[in-house]
Amino acid sequence: MSLFVEQNVWVFLILTVIMGGGAAFMAGRNVAQGWKSPALLFAYMLIFGAGLRFLHYALFHADLVSLQYYISQTAVVMVFAFLGYRTTLANLMTEKYPWLFEKSGPLGWRKKA
């Protein structure tokens, strides 16, 4: 069909974007709260993408070993995971070191002048 949607747009939106994206966002927050590397989050999302692909297969009879849909769905959840990671890390940096850093948008921080 298309790059992201295998069978039904609603299945993709509910399972991948809403449920998978929400779980990935929380995983990104958790990795940031532990002050861990974003490379670890990348590895987690590769595994999470495989689990998400299995849910599509088990619940909606999608193709289990479709590399195209695995990559596209994993890319979607990685975006949510890195958004959760960056927002939490920006909050941590400005709360833990208020004399050094100030927020510069929802995803970043900068040194105070």
- Does residue 4 fall inside a structural domain? no
Please give the Cα distance from 54 to 112 (Å, whole number).
47
Q: Residue 13 belongs to what domain range?
A: 9-111
- Does residue 83 fall inside a structural domain? yes
- Does residue 29 fall inside a structural domain? yes
Nearest-5° Cα angle at 77, 28 to 69: 155
* Number of compact structural domains in the chain: 1
At residue 105, the 3 state secondary structure works out as: coil
Each residue of 42-85: pLDDT tens digit? Answer: 999 999 999 999 999 999 988 899 999 999 999 999 999 999 99
- When pLDDT is cut at 50, 70 and 90, the band that residue 110 belongs to is very high
- Does residue 87 fall inside a structural domain? yes
- Does residue 2 fall inside a structural domain? no
- Does residue 1 fall inside a structural domain? no
Its pTM stands at 0.91
Question: pLDDT value at position 1?
Answer: 52
- When pLDDT is cut at 50, 70 and 90, the band that residue 6 belongs to is confident
- When pLDDT is cut at 50, 70 and 90, the band that residue 17 belongs to is very high
Please give the Cα distance from 113 to 96 (Å, whole number).
17
Structure tokens at 103: 């927020």
- When pLDDT is cut at 50, 70 and 90, the band that residue 28 belongs to is very high
